[in-house]
Amino acid sequence: MDTDELTDQLESMLAIREAGLDYRVERVLKDGSRERTQVVYLLGAGGGEYGPFVHKVIAADRGLGTVYRTLHDAWLSGRRFAHLPEILNVSSQGDELDVLMEYVEGPTLETYLTAAGFDRGVVLQAFEDVCRACIELHASFAPPIIHRDLKPSNIIMAQSRFSSQPTAVLIDFGIARQWREGESSDTVHFGTREFAPPEQYGFSQTTVRSDVYALGMLLAYCLIGSTVPREQLVSSLTGAHASAGLIRVVERACAFDPADRYDSAQALLNAFSAAVGAGDLPSSRQRGDASSGKAAKDSLFMAPSSTLTPQVPQAPRTVRARFIDNPIVRIPWNITVLFVAVVCVQATLELVAHPTESMRDASIPALVVIAYFMVLPIFLFGCWLLYNKSWLRKRFAFVDWAISIGLPRLIARFVALEAAALVAALLLWSV
């Protein structure tokens, strides 16, 4: 499905999500202190599902995830990108950033190259495409966006985007940033050590040349078949029978001083293409013939897509006022609900300790049954329904699990039975 069709399809889905409907977590991809990433299906009325999508909750107070807004604005303006996932929705929830984005189907670069046996043609095409992905990220925005975490697991070789051939798609922009004029440094100790440039650890501000460094390390990975420390690049590439031309490309891309590197991903791609054109891609990296490599590569895309055709709901299953999700409203709202719950508990205790005139003739056991097993559950469940649980669902998987298995509905049925029993008991008591 092309991106325009995807955008049209998701308009109704986003309206449903804004209405406050639930989502089903298919699996958790990352669960850390700074970011939680899930594959989710949004739930509509009548059991309809939209998905899969990637849902991220990012600690915005740490300066993470700022680029998602830039990417989202670009997609909203009608711009289309061959190598970037579509950002569908970005919203702030207190000190957290809530991001909903396209789920990119396909193997990671590592899986893709391994399955293809690091075939000559596959390596060539894949690295060229990764370079073009970085060029798109750098050249499409002013100031340019620097990814800062280029590595095989953050590159998806996706099928069926703009061509019949697998296309490199960059994912995970949590630590990405835009270049800021006049700054001497930026965030430190971010990125994956095997691919991150020295300046990313406090030496200077990251620029497009920082991503060039990571691309150079990626090229070395493609040629060697594994990651190696920067100090061992030359010896490892020589051991992998890389030519002098390709070794020079990697060395320059991975220079310690950013000024000594290629000044852009395009310049790196040009140098790589020239080296490959001169026959510098080592044929000894081929593990099997080209046909076997192609077969392995093709097998990665034989599984059917898990995306479901959405059923557009006629009416929301659950309606929750959007303003409650506003952090300015959510906190006082929840405090009020908790206060009401405390009052309910206190009133129930008083009912037993100091019964009203009409209840004084009742036995203590009867009062306990009525108060603690009938009245209190009804009050507390009502408060639970009113309480905004968005932050609980983000922090505690149990809440999502409980909702996904229908536990609130089960409790609601139990409370309804208790309410009926309470009414019956009071009627009998009055008689």
Q: Put the strands of the sheet holding 23-31 in their side by side order.
A: 23-31, 35-43, 49-59, 96-102, 87-93
pLDDT of the residue at 255: 93
Q: State the pTM of this model.
A: 0.63
Task: State which amino acid sits at residue 234.
Answer: V
Domain topology for 109-299: Transferase(Phosphotransferase); domain 1 (1.10.510)
**How deeply is 413 buried, as exposed, middle or buried, from its count of CB atoms within 10 A (0-12, 13-18, 19+)?**
exposed
Q: How far apart are CA 127 and CA 270, in angstroms?
A: 12
What is 3-102's CATH number, 3.30.200.20, 3.90.550.10, 3.40.50.300, 3.40.50.970?
A: 3.30.200.20
Q: Which two tokens stand for residue 25?
A: 């977590």
Q: How far apart are CA 71 and CA 267, in angstroms?
A: 24
Q: How far apart are CA 168 and CA 127, in angstroms?
A: 9
pLDDT of the residue at 111: 93
pLDDT of the residue at 419: 74
Cross-strand pairs, 30 = 37
Rounded to the nearest 10°, the torsion over CA 13, 19, 25, 31 is 110
pLDDT of the residue at 150: 95
Q: How far apart are CA 278 and CA 406, in angstroms?
A: 63
Q: Which two tokens stand for residue 205?
A: 């501000």
pLDDT, tens digit only, all 431 positions of the chain: 455 555 555 554 554 455 444 678 889 988 887 889 999 988 766 667 778 999 999 887 667 888 999 999 998 888 888 899 999 888 887 788 889 999 999 999 999 999 988 887 788 889 999 999 999 999 999 889 999 999 999 999 997 555 667 889 999 998 898 866 655 556 554 667 889 888 887 666 788 999 999 999 999 999 998 999 988 999 999 998 888 899 999 999 999 989 999 999 999 999 999 988 766 554 433 333 444 444 444 444 433 333 333 333 333 333 344 455 555 677 888 888 888 888 888 887 777 777 766 665 666 676 677 777 777 788 888 887 788 776 665 556 566 556 655 666 777 777 777 777 777 766 776 65
pLDDT of the residue at 121: 79
pLDDT of the residue at 316: 32
In 3D, which of 382, 384, 400 has the Cα closest to residue 392? 400
